[in-house]
Amino acid sequence: MPTPQIVTPASALAPKERLIIALDVPSAAEAQKVVLQIGDAAVFYKVGFQLFTVAGPDFVRELASSGKKIFLDLKVHEIPNTAAAAVKSAASLNVQMVTVHASGGSKMLRAAVEAATSAGQTQGKDAPVILAVTVLTSLANEDLPEIGLNVSAREQVVRLAKVAHSAGCGGVVASPEEVGAIRNAVGEQMLIVTPGIRPAGSEKGDQSRIATPAEAIRSGATHLVVGRPITKASDPAEAARNIVNEIAGAK
């Protein structure tokens, strides 16, 4: 059993630190434009497959050295040795969060946590938080039997959150609907990062299980991931500030 990751509780985070903007854009130039438009209205960005595949580690290093925090959403799902190596590489880019799939099992999760801890010790700084992805938010109950799961999505989410907790992961990614059930199952010590956030009146896009920023915070989310409602807004900085204000008012 690795030493569980210690994370900063939501009560000690400024509202601005709880908003993560998803840089789901196809090039480094477009991502830089978004970051510039947002300015100091936000500090935390998510870099996922789309951007990382084209812009790569250089973009991530640059964003980190400009003082931004980074959630590297690589959704690692590998044999433990390879998962640990991927986490070690991610830690070398100075990111704050890395995702792994909880369905990779506890050996893989423990290897990821140990790699993060040891990278933090070697570099003399906080280890990246290993965030476990439970069930993809695009999967509904009726999609689970074909992949051999004869339980509801919620049961599977809670089951995997418990596996992640026992393996020492610092947090999980979950849809707003699942936050309460996860909190009950794992207690207050883990981060819960939720996509599927739609400020009142904005487009749903392809999100189905959605909540407003205030609803997600009140149900126990520590961080919100918001993409298009900010990046596609006519004034992204204002959209970000409005969400930060909503987070601040949702206590």
Q: Which residues would be at the binding site for ligand C5P (CB under 6 A)?
A: 22, 24, 48, 137-138, 195-196, 205-207, 225-229
Residue that has been written with the tokens 């970051």 in this structure? 35
* Cβ proximity of 40 and 9 under 8 Å: no
Phi and psi, residue 239, nearest 5°: -60, -40
The residue (of 45 and 110) whose beta carbon lies closer to ligand C5P is 45
The residue (of 48 and 80) whose beta carbon lies closer to ligand C5P is 48
Q: How far is the CB of 138 from ligand C5P (least distance, A)?
A: 5
The residue (of 119 and 214) whose beta carbon lies closer to ligand C5P is 214
Q: Which residue, judged by CB position, is nearest to ligand C5P in the bound state?
A: 227
The residue (of 77 and 228) whose beta carbon lies closer to ligand C5P is 228
Active site residue 251: no
Phi and psi, residue 69, nearest 5°: -95, 150
Query: Using CA atoms, how far apart are residues 79 and 105, in angstroms rounded to an integer?
Result: 10
Mapping DSSP onto H, E and C, the string for 170-214 reads CEEECCHHHHHHHHHHHCCCCEEEECCECCCCCCCCCCCCCECHH
Q: How far is the CB of 209 from ligand C5P (least distance, A)?
A: 8
Q: How far is the CB of 22 from ligand C5P (least distance, A)?
A: 4
Catalytic residue among 33, 75, 88, 162: 75
Sign, CA torsion 145/150/155/161: negative
Q: How far is the CB of 124 from ligand C5P (least distance, A)?
A: 31
Question: Which residues are annotated as catalytic?
Answer: 75
